Amino acid sequence: MTGTLTRDGSDALITSCDGRQTWRLRDPDSLFPVDADFVSVYATVPEGPADPFVASRINYVPTEGFRCEFDWEGTLWRAAGNEPFWSVIMTEDGLTVRMPAEPPRVVPFTTQPGPVFLGDGLRVAFTPGLCADTMVDTMFGWSVTLEVDNRTLTGCGFEGMAAQTRRP
């Protein structure tokens, strides 16, 4: 579930980025902060039509950064790290790596379980678990390791909607 967040008593309401759907979400483990206004969370499906979804794990909760304007539908995965800054975005078109003072590298990739992505001397591995950006108070649901040019870099990442729709 990804969208804008409002509160309704003990539950939250998430409105999809396109504004077409609103879901009631219960957050029994207080996964996201009270002042969050955008969330991307994994949730269990309600048992009955009047029951809320139940948040089970964070995918992405920003204090600043990407919200609905991000291409959630076209993105498989995204990751970034600091010192040095780097970013990776995966779409159906390929894996794009951005590093300081280097032109973006766009390469085709293969997927392995994990999820792990390989492409032209690159390896990107996502591991489930809370990860906090070191520069801002943004929470991610995935720790990420990028192996590139004989370097190992670490950071945080999230899953896009395109990855979720590709699952069997």
- Model-level pTM? 0.89
Task: Provide CATH code, domain 2-61.
Answer: 2.40.50
Residue 133 to residue 147: CA distance in whole angstroms:
19
Cα dihedral 78, 156, 168, 121, rounded to 10, equals 70
pLDDT of 168 strictly over 50: no
Residues in the chain: 168
Residue 99 to residue 30: CA distance in whole angstroms:
35
Highest mean pLDDT out of 6-15, 20-29, 58-67, 138-147: 138-147
pLDDT of 167 strictly over 50: no
CA distances from 61 to 99, 115, 156 (A): 24, 20, 12
Q: Residue ranges per domain, the chain?
A: 2-61, 77-166
